[in-house]
Amino acid sequence: MTTQTATPTSLPPLPPLRIGEYTVPVPIIQGGMGVRVSAHRLASAVANEGGVGVIAAVALSLASRYYEKGRDYYRANVKALIEELQTAREISPNGIIGVNCMVAIRDFEAMVRTSVEHGAQMIISGAGLPLRLPEFATANPNTALIPIISSLRAARLLAKRWYKLYKRLPDAMIFEDPNRAGGHLGVKDASQLFAREYDTDVVVPELAEWSHTEYNDEIPIITAGGIWDRQDIDHAFALGAKGVQMASRFICTFECDAHDQFKRAFIDAKAGDVVIVDSPAGLPGRALRTPFTKTLLRGGEVADQCIATCLEACRCREEKETFCIALALHRAQQGDLENGLVFTGSNATRHTGLVHVRDIFQEILYGIPVQPVPIPG
């Protein structure tokens, strides 16, 4: 066990984060990680500590009791999402539970509507601009809608369009730094990565000034990508952010929904083991070096047939090239690193063992050192 008794230190308290109708006691949103890396166990654990716990909606059915191979993928996704939301709420009756719904998936509308109708308090949406998100979330006007954006230009476009069409503004916006974030990145191709124009230190102050000047801070800016510890959070707040999103930091927790072999890959990772891959979705992605990515990067055969037509645009389905990303992510989550893709942020190699979600919050809030333990076996 790693949980320790909190004793207040000289660290100043973090301010709560107001998003729409909700006050988040600790201004941390746990990033959505698919497939099933962040499901009900991780989301409820984060929510119980005062942050926002987030279930990733993409391809939830693949490890569920509802999916029969080759049949009912979309219907099974809905059933699996309902079950995840219900279970998370049972474990965290008073916490804030959200769902990450990717614009790029074909059942985006169904996942949003299902989330709203079954108690998700927040919808976080990226991998494309969620231009119609308010239209799909009308069942509960109190559900906070939070788009992920990568530039001030995108923020302006989205806010103006939502207000024009729906008389609604985003309840918050998450800026995801493509130079540090994990998974699908908000640039068209890898050649645009590491350009300063996408850097947190440049974009967050621009967004904060825009929100303050044009919307009187009604759209709080949350920053994501490379957030690991209290120092990173304090820096984000100094730039004008009102909160942070953290994903990779929560992977090597006892509560993370992924297989122990998935977590072990992070603990064993060394410098140079974070790579950029081309996703079948047509976007670059940041991933951990595994046997699968080694084969992929040297041009070896990793092709799989499309199993579910899950993406709006997919080279695997349309061009019979590359690999089925849903299947590759699912395999990794299940512990098959030979044939699985492991998405990660830039901090992947900082993991040294397993901790509890509570330990991470205790460290951030009170400065109590985390003491990771080895994975059993």
SS3 for 66? coil
**Which residues neighbour 321 within 8 Å (Cβ) at sequence distance 6 or greater?**
280, 303, 315
Q: What is the DSSP string of 100-152?
A: E--TTBTTHHHHHHHHHHTT-SEEEE-SS--TTHHHHTTT-TTSEEEEEESSH
Lookup: tokens for 47 = 């929510």
> What is the pLDDT confidence band of residue 294, given thresholds at 50, 70 and 90?
confident
Structural domain contains residue 45: yes
Place of tokens 């920053």: 223
pLDDT at 324: 79
Structure letter (DSSP) for residue 376: P
Q: What is the mean pLDDT of the chain?
A: 90
What's the one-letter identity of residue 349? T
Structure confidence by residue, pLDDT tens digits, 303-358: 566 666 665 565 555 566 677 788 889 999 999 999 999 999 999 999 999 999 99
List the CATH number of the domain containing 140.
Answer: 3.20.20.70
Structural domain contains residue 1: no
Q: Give the separation between CA 122 and CA 110, rounded to whole angstroms.
A: 15
Total domains present in the chain: 2
Structure confidence by residue, pLDDT tens digits, 81-119: 999 999 999 999 999 999 999 998 889 999 999 999 999
Whether 357 and 225 map to the same domain: the answer is yes
Which phi and psi angles does 24 have, rounded to 5°? Answer: -90, 115
Residue 243: beta bridge partners?
Answer: 222
Q: Say how many residues make up the chain.
A: 377
Structural domain contains residue 148: yes
pLDDT at 311: 59
Segment 119-133 mean pLDDT: 95
**Which residues neighbour 28 within 8 Å (Cβ) at sequence distance 6 or greater?**
46, 51, 52, 233, 243, 244, 245, 246, 361, 364
Whether 41 and 184 map to the same domain: the answer is yes
Whether 110 and 171 map to the same domain: the answer is yes
22-24 vs 17-19, strand pairing mode: antiparallel
Q: What's the Cα-to-Cα distance from 368 to each of 7, 234, 270, rounded to whole Å?
A: 8, 16, 26
Whether 158 and 59 map to the same domain: the answer is yes
Whether 273 and 190 map to the same domain: the answer is no
Range list of β-strands (E), 158-209? 173-176, 183-184
Structural domain contains residue 124: yes
Structural domain contains residue 172: yes
Could you give the count of Cα atoms lying within 13 Å of 83 in the half-sphere of its Cβ? 13
Q: Residue 145 burial (CB < 10 Å; 0-12/13-18/19+)? A: buried
Whether 236 and 149 map to the same domain: the answer is yes
Whether 128 and 226 map to the same domain: the answer is yes
What domain range includes position 235? 17-258+350-366
Whether 241 and 208 map to the same domain: the answer is yes
Structural domain contains residue 4: no
Structure confidence by residue, pLDDT tens digits, 180-207: 888 777 766 666 666 677 889 999 999 9
pLDDT at 3: 47
pLDDT at 327: 84
Whether 253 and 322 map to the same domain: the answer is no
Cβ–Cβ < 8 Å for 2, 20: no
pLDDT at 124: 98
Whether 67 and 139 map to the same domain: the answer is yes
Structural domain contains residue 123: yes
Whether 151 and 131 map to the same domain: the answer is yes
3-state helix, strand, coil in the chain (%, to 5): 35, 15, 45
Whether 153 and 198 map to the same domain: the answer is yes
Structural domain contains residue 340: no
